[in-house]
Structure 1
Amino acid sequence: MNNMKFGIGLIPQGNDDENIRLSKLAEDAGFEYLWISDNPNMDLYKLLRNILIETETIKIGPGVTNPFIRKPGKLSIEMMNLNKLSDNRITLGIGPGNKSQLDKMNITWEKPLTKLKRSINVINDMNHNNPKNKIPIYVEATGPKLVELAGKLTNGVMVNASHPKDYGMILKQVENSPEISKKGENQFDIMAYSATSIDNDYQKAQNAAKIVVAFIIAGSPAHVLERHGISEEIRNDIYLSLSKGNIGGGMRLVKDDFIEEFSIAGTCEDIIPKIKDLEKIGVTQYIASAPIGNNIAESIKLFGEVISTY
C-alpha cells in the first residue's frame, strides 16, 4: 500500500480569484494539501479563508510562515478559527525565517530558534484547549536543531530538497530520535518541498526549471554544493549574474545535471520514478513547488496524472 501524500506549494498570484482558481484545480487534480508561500505584504488569513470557502476537501496552510512576520498569538487564534470554519482542513508549515530575506524587510533576525519554539508552544497550547480541532504543525528543517525541535513538538519536517542524497542527515536523526519513536509508526511526516516542473515536452519542463535551480544553487552553502559535485566557483558565477539582474546569464550557467540534482523536472513518465525514489527512503509527502511548469494551471492538471498512479 502506498503511503505517499501529495501537496502543492503555491506562490500567491496577483488577485484572490486566480489563487482560488488554482486551488480548485489542485483539489480536482487530487492534491491533498495546498501550501501557500507567506510574506508580510499579503493578508494571509483572508486568502486562506477565501480558498477554504471555495474548496471542499483540500487541506490548506502557510508553507511556510515564520514568527518574525506572524506573531504567535494572532497566528494561533486566526488559524484555529479557520480550522473550526473548515472542519479541520487547516495545517501549518512554520520555520525560523531567512536572515537575508528578513534583512531586506528591515526585520532583525534575532533568536530564531527561541521565537520559533515559542510560536509552536502557543499553537500547541491552543491545540490542547481544542482537542477536536487540533492543527498539525510541520517545521521547515534546515539543520539538526530544527529536526530535534520538530521531533519534540510537532507532526513532521518540511525539507527543501529534491534529491535523496539531501535527506541523509535528517533520516538518520529521525530514526534515532526517542521523541519521534514515542509518537508511533507513521505519526511523523517527512515532506519533500521540491522544485518541480512538469510538461508533456521534456525539454520545456527542463527549461522552466532552470531559473529556480539557478537561485537554489546561488543560495546553497559549500557542503550542499560538494554533495552534488558543484564547485563554489560555479555557484559564485551564477550568484553574480543573478545579483546583477542578468537572469538569462544565470540560467545559461545551469547545466542539465544541475537540474537533475536540484529539481524534479520532465514528463509524467520522468517524474514518477523520482518521486518513488523519495518514497523509498521515507518521504511521506511530496510537495510540488515552484516553478511547477510553464503554465501553472495546465501543469497542475498534468500532475494529476502522476497522482493517479498512486
Structure 2
Amino acid sequence: MSFGITVLPTDPPDRFIELARYVDQSDFDFFWLADTSLYGRYVYNYLTLCALNTTRVKIGTNCTHPLTRNPAVNFNAMAGIDELSGGRAIMTVGTGGGTVKELGYGVAKLKTVREMIEQGRALLTGEPIAYESETLTLRNAKLRFLARHDLPIYMTASGPKMLEMGGELCDGVIYMAGTDRNCIAAAQADIGRGAAKAGRSLESLDLACCVFGTIGEDRDAARDHCRSIAAWMVTTQPRFAALAGIPEEQAAAVSQAFSGSAHGPESKKAAALVTDAMIDTFTLAGDPSDFIAGIERLTDAGVTHIEFFPEGENQLGMAKLFAERVIPHFR
C-alpha cells in the first residue's frame, strides 16, 4: 500500500517547510501541491521549497492544466523541480476547473490535455519540437536543462474520457471517485480501457485513489467539516453519486443548492443538505478509526495507493494524525 498527501499551498513558507519536512520524514510516499491559480501560493515557488527541504518523498502537482501557462513552460518548470529534488518529481496533468474559471478560462478540452501530454513527452527527449494547433504553438522549442528524460507523467481525472486517456498515455492516474466500491470499479474500468488501447495492462500503471477528508479527535466536527466538499462531489460527479446509490432526489437537491466553490461561504446551503451517506461515499471523515475502516473498504475494493487530500486549515496536524495513527495499521 502506498500513501500520499495533497495540500493547497496556503500556509506561510515557514509553516509549509515544517509540513514538507514532516511528510518526508514520515511514512508518506508522495507529497503533492494543488496548482490552484489564485487560491493559494504559487505552486512552483512552493515545489521549490519542497524540493530543497525533502530528501525522500516523491513530489509534484495535483494537478497542472494546459490553460494558464503554456504546457512547455509547465514542463520546463517541472524539469527544474526534478533537478532540484534529485529526480523525485512527477508531472501530473488535468483539465482545470473553478481555479481557471476565475481567470476567464473554461475547462480544458480532451484534445488540449492530450497535446500537453504528447508534446510534453516530446520535449523531455531534449530534442527541438515544432508543433502547431489551435491551442498550442511550439517553434523549435527545446528543454535545455533536464535531470532525466523519463520524467513520470500522471493524470488526475474523474470523467470517463479523461480517465481513459490517462490509462492510454500516462504512467499513473490519480482518480477522484470517492470511496464506494462501485465507483472505484467504474473508474478503474475507464482507465483499463485506455490501457488496453495502448496495449498495456492496468497493473503496469500506478493507480491512486484520491479522497478528500478531515481527520481529527473530534469525530463529529471532522465529519461536519466534510459536508461542503461532499456537496461539491455530489454536484460535479453525478455519475458516481448514482453508482453509489444516492437517491436521485437527494443529489438533485444538493446540486440545485450548490454554487461557487467547495471552500466558499456560498457552499453552506448545499452542505446543509448533505447526508451521512454522501459524506461516507465521497470523503474520509472522522477520527483515526473511521479512516482505518474507510481505507480497509478501499483495499477490499482493490485499491493499493491512497492519496489523502485534507480539508481544513490544520494541514500539519491532520498529516500527523494520518501518518501516526492510520498508516501504521497498513504497514
TM beyond 0.5: yes
Aligned equivalent of 2:137: none
Q: Distance in 2 between matches of 1:107 and 1:14?
A: 26
Residue 284 (structure 1) aligned with residue 301 (structure 2): no
Letter in 2 for 1:107: Y
Residues 168 and 191, structure 2, Cα contact 8 Å, conserved in 1:
no
Q: Which runs of 5+ in 1 are unaligned?
A: none
Letter in 2 for 1:102: V
Deviation at 1:84, TM superposition (A): 1.6
Residues 10 and 290, structure 1, Cα contact 8 Å, conserved in 2:
yes
Residues 7 and 315, structure 2, Cα contact 8 Å, conserved in 1:
no
Letter in 2 for 1:283: V
Aligned equivalent of 1:300: 319
Residue 77 (structure 1) aligned with residue 76 (structure 2): yes
Residue 37 (structure 1) aligned with residue 28 (structure 2): no
Residue 90 (structure 1) aligned with residue 107 (structure 2): no
Q: Distance in 2 between matches of 1:301 and 1:201?
A: 15
TM-score (norm: length of structure 2): 0.81
**RMSD between aligned alpha carbons?**
2.6
Kindly provide the CA deviation profile for residues 66-89 of structure 1, in whole angstroms up to 9, marking residues without a partner as x: 101232111111111221221111
Residues 194 and 289, structure 1, Cα contact 8 Å, conserved in 2:
yes
Aligned pairs, number: 302
Q: Which of the pair is proportionally richer in helix?
A: 1
Q: Distance in 2 between matches of 1:109 and 1:255?
A: 29
Deviation at 1:271, TM superposition (A): 1.5
Kindly provide the CA deviation profile for residues 63-113 of structure 1, in whole angstroms up to 9, marking residues without a partner as x: 011101232111111111221221111112211223x55333212446x11
Residues 212 and 290, structure 1, Cα contact 8 Å, conserved in 2:
no
Q: 1:290 to 1:161 in 2, by over 3 A?
A: farther
Deviation at 1:133, TM superposition (A): 5.0
Residue 259 (structure 1) aligned with residue 257 (structure 2): no
Deviation at 1:11, TM superposition (A): 0.8
Deviation at 1:246, TM superposition (A): 5.1
Letter in 1 for 2:246: I
Kindly provide the CA deviation profile for residues 206-230 of structure 1, in whole angstroms up to 9, marking residues without a partner as x: 1222222122223333x33322333
Q: Distance in 2 between matches of 1:25 and 1:17?
A: 13
Aligned equivalent of 1:178: 196
Q: Distance in 2 between matches of 1:233 and 1:261?
A: 16
Aligned equivalent of 1:142: 158
Aligned equivalent of 2:169: 153
Identical residues among aligned pairs (%): 25
Residues 7 and 288, structure 1, Cα contact 8 Å, conserved in 2:
yes
Q: 1:243 to 1:272 in 2, by over 3 A?
A: same
Deviation at 1:188, TM superposition (A): 0.1
Residues 29 and 303, structure 1, Cα contact 8 Å, conserved in 2:
no
Residue 213 of structure 1, aligned match among 227, 230, 237: 230
Kindly provide the CA deviation profile for residues 119-157 of structure 1, in whole angstroms up to 9, marking residues without a partner as x: 112321244346845221111232333233222321121
Q: Distance in 2 between matches of 1:72 and 1:23?
A: 26
Deviation at 1:53, TM superposition (A): 0.7
Q: Distance in 2 between matches of 1:150 and 1:40?
A: 23
Letter in 2 for 1:104: E
Aligned equivalent of 2:291: 271
- What does 1:6-155 align with in structure 2 at a 5 Å threshold? 6-41=3-38, 42-98=41-97, 101-109=99-107, 112-129=109-126, 132=148, 134-155=150-171
Q: 1:25 to 1:278 in 2, by over 3 A?
A: same
Residues 39 and 69, structure 1, Cα contact 8 Å, conserved in 2:
no
